[in-house]
A = this chain, B = another copy of it.
């Protein structure tokens, strides 16, 4: 397959050329991984059949061997002939075992026993061995950044307008916490993915024919691949285990997109508080040679826009008629794409947050832009505390006056006769905060550090 003759950018542009992603995910998200994991489930079944005395251990060994040597190439060729992917797998595996072993391959199973169980194994493995390590690495980078910038003064913004001060580390700590929460959610839902070995309509019809306790058979087979059974199943596992898992991934993508959005907004020419480190050879624009665009952050947002809506597919796939219609089959083949999309975003953020350039001087300049107007809040709070009956309205009028006369708010306040009585009751520290609101950061720095400590501990990242 020539990459230039492909349609989906996911493989030829974002996944296949990315060694980091392939190392993390190859065992779980590729077509090869699909075939291997399905063969692995077939082998697990035969091992348990041997343990239960239904077939010999030699047969189980043969099938184990077949599962190891069967290739996706063989299976694909057989599928092209018979148009049924699991029967193609079974037929292919049969060519690697003796005639005695043949009947015990896929014995009492329905295709979806294999498909759903193998899919759960892959989705779980992708999470535990791919997604979570990558997200923890990003978490590590964010914790380091939040600590480094815990005391870096920055204006807090709401509605894109200057509000009251925070520190940049505090702003990053928000993402430490939200990402930490999503890491927990992904782990919990991944570990809760379920398999099934309950046959064509979920009632263990076939296995009950041969085995006294077919639920015990199911438990043992699934234990071989580290899974527990769906509480009950039709032809398919209860849909909600995968639904919850995909929700955890997609809602994690939302956190990454929000972080990316914040970073790209901080890079606006007029704000200019942070920057992506550019490589020496890198071209910003094909026509505006001076441009340094925050394109990696924009890219993360764009990938989120591509993958988030796919939750609609996941929610739609909750519905399957009676003991199952197949209309969730092709759609679910696309699920691993969401994992790749998420990790494309996460690894990119790890790289660019890890080399984020912070301009502390510019942050201070921006904070100073409104000439003390951000002191409006402490002024109003303190006036109220001193008993002013309508402090908010009084200060709102002062801010208008400050704007109209182009005077720092602190000075306008100092000059106000109406407020003289209250002013005199302020402590020195309080007066200082109103006049220099850059001191008005609450517990931003401490909070940044405590959130970092919390998640470093919880995730064992120390």
**Contact between B442 and A205, CB atoms less than 8 A apart:** yes
User: Chain B contacts of A291 at CB under 8 A?
Assistant: 158-159, 161, 163
Within 8 A of B (CB), among A326-346: 326-331, 333-334, 336-337, 340
**Contact between B442 and A208, CB atoms less than 8 A apart:** yes
Nearest-Cβ distance from residue A85 to partner chain B, whole angstroms: 9
Nearest-Cβ distance from residue A93 to partner chain B, whole angstroms: 12
User: Chain B contacts of A204 at CB under 8 A?
Assistant: 442-443, 447
Indicate whether A396 reaches chain B with its CB closer than 8 angstroms. yes
B11, B100, B284, B312: the one within 8 Å of A8 (CB): B11
**Contact between A289 and B102, CB atoms less than 8 A apart:** no
Docked Cα-Cα span, A322 to B366, in Å, equals: 15
Indicate whether A39 reaches chain B with its CB closer than 8 angstroms. no
Segment of A61-69, A134-142, A349-357, A379-387 engaged in the interface with chain B: A379-387
Given the contacts A13-B333, A205-B442, A380-B287, A103 and B163 also touching, CB distance less than 8 Å: no
User: Chain B contacts of A459 at CB under 8 A?
Assistant: none
For A382, give the chain B residue with the smallest CB separation: B209
Interface string of A348-376 (1 = CB under 8 A from B): 00000000000000000010011001101
Nearest-Cβ distance from residue A234 to partner chain B, whole angstroms: 6
Interface string of A150-176 (1 = CB under 8 A from B): 000001111111111111001101100
**Contact between A330 and B302, CB atoms less than 8 A apart:** yes
User: Chain B contacts of A440 at CB under 8 A?
Assistant: 205, 209
Indicate whether A347 reaches chain B with its CB closer than 8 angstroms. no
For A12, give the chain B residue with the smallest CB separation: B31
Docked Cα-Cα span, A402 to B306, in Å, equals: 38
User: Chain B contacts of A48 at CB under 8 A?
Assistant: none
**Contact between A286 and B255, CB atoms less than 8 A apart:** no
Nearest-Cβ distance from residue A432 to partner chain B, whole angstroms: 12
Given the contacts A269-B160, A319-B261, A240 and B330 also touching, CB distance less than 8 Å: no
For A324, give the chain B residue with the smallest CB separation: B158
Chain A interface residue count, CB cutoff 8 Å, equals 197
B155, B265, B286, B328: the one within 8 Å of A87 (CB): B286
Interface string of A403-426 (1 = CB under 8 A from B): 000000100000000000000000
B72, B281, B288, B295: the one within 8 Å of A376 (CB): B288
B10, B32, B369, B393: the one within 8 Å of A270 (CB): B369
Docked Cα-Cα span, A6 to B281, in Å, equals: 30
For A320, give the chain B residue with the smallest CB separation: B258
Docked Cα-Cα span, A311 to B314, in Å, equals: 11
**Contact between A443 and B164, CB atoms less than 8 A apart:** no
User: Chain B contacts of A265 at CB under 8 A?
Assistant: 160, 321-322
**Contact between A385 and B107, CB atoms less than 8 A apart:** yes
Docked Cα-Cα span, A204 to B4, in Å, equals: 33
Docked Cα-Cα span, A90 to B202, in Å, equals: 49
Indicate whether A57 reaches chain B with its CB closer than 8 angstroms. no
**Contact between B30 and A109, CB atoms less than 8 A apart:** no
Q: A84-B285, A160-B269 are in contact. List 16 more A-B contacts (CB 8 A).
A: A6-B31, A9-B333, A110-B287, A158-B322, A160-B267, A177-B238, A203-B443, A251-B315, A254-B319, A258-B320, A270-B270, A288-B376, A289-B377, A305-B328, A306-B310, A311-B315
Pairs A–B under 8 Å by Cβ, sample size 7:
A4-B31, A99-B389, A158-B293, A171-B322, A178-B239, A203-B443, A310-B310
